[in-house]
Amino acid sequence: MSVRRFTRMSYANADDMVFGRSLKPVSYGFGLKIGAGKVIPEINYAPRPGTERDPERLRKEFIDYISRDVLDRAVALGFPDLQLETEWVSQMNQAKLSVPVIEGQKAICEKYHEEFGINCAVRHTIPDQREADLGLRPGMDAERTYPEKFFACAEIACENGADNLSCESVGGKELSDYAVTNGDIVAFLFGVGYLGTIDMTYIWSEFVDVAKRNKVVAGGDTNCAGANTSMFLAGGMQDNDVQRTFTAVARCISAAKTLAAWECGAIGPDKDCGYEGPIVKAIAGMPISQEGKNCQCAHCDLQGNLMAQTCDLWSNESVEYHPEFGGSSVQCWLGALGYEAALMNTALQLKQEKTLRDLYMFSDRFRGPEAYVLAYDNAYRIGQAIVAEGDNIYNRALAAGLAGSRILLEGYKKREIMLTNKQYEVLLDIIGKFESLPAEEDDFVEFAAKEYRDVPNFNMKNYGL
């Protein structure tokens, strides 16, 4: 499959970007249209531990409890559109567990669409269970064959009723884990920006073919394994183990990787946990799913309002199924999602979307470095830096990191954001390291391969190199 790297921005300027509208809307499922003028809630959930031990018990958990609860609550509250996201638990990498769930969710969505008129669809997100020490490419581990199972799961999902195929790939994680632990931004650039892009290109060249053969929409990916790990470890205002300037720059680099799924032919929306969404939407014009303040059931972040600024799907991340005072957990969190989407959609109808967008954005813009670089105007600037480097995956990842670093430095000097002395020192160190790197890709790869050869589980063969 040919890969077409993005070399120009889809949006003419940052101000054209708003929630609920994308330049390339996507339709699938039972009447669902993403990015076509409204924000749609995307409910994400997990079955209770132990239900995965038996196929019938797991089917009942997903269909009779989770899916039915969600759809009943959507009808009860008058929400017209809904996307369900089933992130497969690891045990679902076998047909006897996954097929009943896929088929059952397809059937119940069709039932509620026909009986109540609700537009709905199911995104199936395949777990990337590959492990670097066992090999990321087929044939590297004959006993466990993780890569082969990974692609087989995509086939199972598409053959049995998935509306949207997505995943959260792990390419480069062995280096990104090392990078975050050691505060080494060059290792992150190498692992995520370079090797991660190679791996995601490899995965999505296959995923897109699988989706097309089965007339399923290929959605997208994210750098959850790297940038989100960094964000979680950086924590909040009381934490100091991972500097938030490091995490913000890591997020910028991750955007260059996340683009790769779309460059292979996926058409969106990307994954909700991809906080780099505003950057990739600015470049590609495709719809994005985002999470923020309504994902407190899974984790907290410092940009909970801001992330709604340009979303097309609004997600809760993931919540375990259990009872709450207001109903089941999925019903309660759907209520929060649906009412937030209704607010955004009312703003669109009253032509007040840019006012609400800016209120979302400014409420968090100065809360921390990652929020600052993800504010839609700065996200657009990072996108411009990426596309300016053409199809060179090293240069564009480096450009993203440099652009984000300089935006942070600029904001600090303008007193728009506050940085601790340590955060400022780390930022200057990052810029210095980036500026000293080789200009040519081959020289960088030769340097990095030697520099990080002793990182546990790192193997260039995992990336076809």
The mean per-residue pLDDT over the stretch 217-238 comes to 95
The mean per-residue pLDDT over the stretch 59-66 comes to 98
State how far the Cα of 313 lies from the Cα of 269, in Å rounded to an integer.
Answer: 8
Answer whether 274's CB lies under 8 Å from 224's CB. yes
The mean per-residue pLDDT over the stretch 36-52 comes to 98
Closest CA to 229 of 247, 241, 253, 256: 247
Would you state the pLDDT for residue 142?
Answer: 66
The mean per-residue pLDDT over the stretch 293-322 comes to 96
Q: What percent of the chain has pLDDT over 70?
A: 99
Would you state the pLDDT for residue 155?
Answer: 98
What are 395-437's pLDDT values in tens digits? 999 999 999 999 999 999 999 999 999 999 999 999 999 999 9
Answer whether 391's CB lies under 8 Å from 5's CB. yes
pLDDT at residue 68 tops 80:
yes
State the residue for tokens 């790769």: 260
For the chain, what is the mean pLDDT?
Answer: 97
pLDDT band at residue 108 under the 50/70/90 scheme: very high
Answer whether 121's CB lies under 8 Å from 30's CB. yes
- Cβ neighbours around 420 below 10 Å, total: 12
Would you state the pLDDT for residue 141?
Answer: 73
φ and ψ at residue 271, rounded to 5 degrees: -85, 145
Pairing of strands 32-36, 289-291: unpaired
What are 144-175's pLDDT values in tens digits? 667 889 999 999 999 999 999 999 999 999 99
- Cβ neighbours around 153 below 10 Å, total: 24
Task: Compare 217 and 300 and report the one with higher pLDDT.
Answer: 217
Give the up-direction half-sphere exposure of residue 14: CA atoms within 13 A in the CB hemisphere: 17
Cβ-Cβ contacts under 8 Å for 457 (sequence gap 6 or more): 131, 132, 133, 174
The mean per-residue pLDDT over the stretch 21-41 comes to 98
The mean per-residue pLDDT over the stretch 198-211 comes to 98
What are 304-315's pLDDT values in tens digits? 999 999 999 999
Would you state the pLDDT for residue 140?
Answer: 81
Closest CA to 289 of 82, 54, 93: 82
Would you state the pLDDT for residue 167?
Answer: 97
φ and ψ at residue 424, rounded to 5 degrees: -65, -45
For the record, the structure tokens of 16 come out as 């054209």
φ and ψ at residue 142, rounded to 5 degrees: -70, -25
pLDDT at residue 1 tops 70:
no
Max Cα-Cα span within the chain: 63
Pairing of strands 119-127, 81-87: parallel
Would you state the pLDDT for residue 144?
Answer: 67
Would you state the pLDDT for residue 133?
Answer: 92
Would you state the pLDDT for residue 138?
Answer: 87
Would you state the pLDDT for residue 171?
Answer: 97
What are 321-349's pLDDT values in tens digits? 999 999 999 999 999 999 999 999 999 99
